């Protein structure tokens, strides 16, 4: 199976498994796991933040970042198609009593004007907005990357209005690679940043929340409240450290393969492909007059896995386990389905 469903499907390499076996561990609940500490210090350093905290998942780390900065009865603004709005089970509402308002944008990447338009004039009759949550890369738009200058400006508009800025940087590493910037430059406009080790970096489990020490201390308690505290988590953290060392430098290879796959697919009748900026290939199939599910079944029969994305789109994500030859084969399989002769 050429598994392009997500960059979360990767399995640990033999070298990563060796790093896991060699990990020094302790009870992280007592703050005694040296490998978790090392990972947290490494990520804080890479992201240019005071502290970082290890989480079992991105959804939990997003929540903790937001709950640690907002309060019940206030609003969280996020781009209307954000992961936070559509894929996180309303968690900040369910667990933090905050309402989540989706801000419609032209491209998925919020501009300062789009944020200004969403902010109401101060009034005792409206809920206070406490947090702006950005997403970089922005998944729904096809893994697009925020322009760094524009992101600084959006964050400035948010701060002028008294908001904290949280960044869902599940794929921040991909954004940094695409921009040829260090990760701290991409993280800089945000107060808190969530980032995943389990996606393009290829670790089996784990996400991080980074930010100012007092916020991360509050997030520690929230993680505990959510049941996300782990014990000898150094076994998993070792995989994260290994991934940062060995996978971070090769993100651009996935981006190049995404461009090649997009190029092959865009030549096929009825497919409209967003030119990839990172490792996501988003394909609108409405021009084929076939339902996404129907095409996906045909692709699966050819040994290619992709997923539906809404009513008219399918998605492929490139990752460490996909080779150039498999990209070619995936393109050829799509051609056999859409151009039978």
Exposure string over 213-234, b if 16+ CB within 10 A, otherwise e: eebbebbbebbeebebbbebbb
Q: Please identify, using beta-carbon distances, which residue of 75 and 88 lies nearer to ligand PLP.
A: 88
Nearest approach, Cβ of 139 to ligand PLP (angstroms)? 4
Residue 192 three-state SS? strand
Nearest approach, Cβ of 209 to ligand PLP (angstroms)? 12
Residue 96 three-state SS? helix
Q: Please identify, using beta-carbon distances, which residue of 143 and 331 lies nearer to ligand PLP.
A: 143
Nearest approach, Cβ of 280 to ligand PLP (angstroms)? 9
Q: Please identify, using beta-carbon distances, which residue of 130 and 278 lies nearer to ligand PLP.
A: 278
Q: Please identify, using beta-carbon distances, which residue of 241 and 337 lies nearer to ligand PLP.
A: 241
Q: Render 118-180 in DSSP notation, one character per residue.
A: HSPPP-TTSPPEEEEEEESSBTTTTSB---HHHHHHHHHHHHHTT-EEEEEETTHHHHHHHHT
Distance CA 199, CA 320 (A): 10
Nearest approach, Cβ of 222 to ligand PLP (angstroms)? 15
Residue nearest to ligand PLP (CB): 58
Q: Please identify, using beta-carbon distances, which residue of 207 and 326 lies nearer to ligand PLP.
A: 207
Question: Which residues contact ligand PLP (rule: CB under 6 A)?
Answer: 57-59, 62, 83, 135, 139, 168, 170, 196, 198, 207
- The radius of gyration computed from the CA coordinates of the chain, to the nearest angstrom, equals 20
Structure-token pair, residue 245: 């060392």
Nearest approach, Cβ of 25 to ligand PLP (angstroms)? 22
Residue 33 three-state SS? coil
């Amino acid at each position: 199976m050429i598994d392009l469903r997500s960059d979360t499907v990767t399995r640990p390499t033999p070298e990563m498994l060796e790093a896991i076996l060699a990990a020094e561990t302790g009870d992280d609940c007592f703050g005694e796991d040296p490998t978790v500490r090392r990972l947290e210090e490494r990520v804080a350093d890479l992201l240019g933040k005071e502290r970082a905290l290890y989480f079992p998942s991105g959804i939990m780390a997003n929540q903790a970042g937001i709950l640690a900065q907002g309060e019940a009865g206030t609003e969280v603004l996020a781009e209307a198609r954000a992961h936070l709005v559509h894929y996180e089970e309303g968690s900040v509402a369910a667990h933090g009593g905050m309402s989540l308002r989706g801000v419609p944008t032209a491209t998925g990447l919020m501009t300062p004007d789009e944020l200004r338009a969403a902010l109401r004039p101060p009034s005792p009759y409206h809920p206070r907005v406490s947090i702006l949550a950005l997403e970089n890369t922005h998944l729904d738009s096809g893994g697009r990357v925020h322009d760094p200058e524009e992101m600084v400006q959006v964050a400035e508009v948010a701060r002028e209005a008294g908001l904290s800025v949280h960044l869902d940087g599940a794929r921040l590493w991909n954004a940094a690679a695409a921009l040829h910037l260090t990760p701290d430059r991409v993280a800089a406009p945000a107060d808190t940043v969530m980032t995943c080790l389990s996606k393009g970096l290829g670790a089996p489990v784990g996400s991080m929340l980074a930010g100012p020490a007092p916020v991360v201390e509050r997030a520690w308690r929230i993680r505990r409240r959510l049941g996300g505290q782990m014990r000898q988590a150094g076994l998993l953290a070792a995989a994260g450290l290994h991934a940062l060392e060995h996978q971070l430098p090769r993100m651009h290879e996935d981006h190049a393969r995404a461009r090649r796959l997009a190029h092959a697919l865009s030549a096929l009748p009825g497919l409209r492909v967003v030119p990839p900026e990172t490792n996501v290939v988003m394909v609108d199939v409405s021009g084929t007059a076939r339902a996404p599910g129907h095409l996906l079944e045909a692709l699966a029969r050819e040994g290619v896995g992709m997923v539906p994305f809404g009513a008219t789109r399918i998605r492929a994500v490139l990752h460490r386990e996909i080779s150039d030859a498999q990209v070619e084969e995936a393109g050829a399989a799509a051609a056999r389905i859409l151009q039978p002769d």
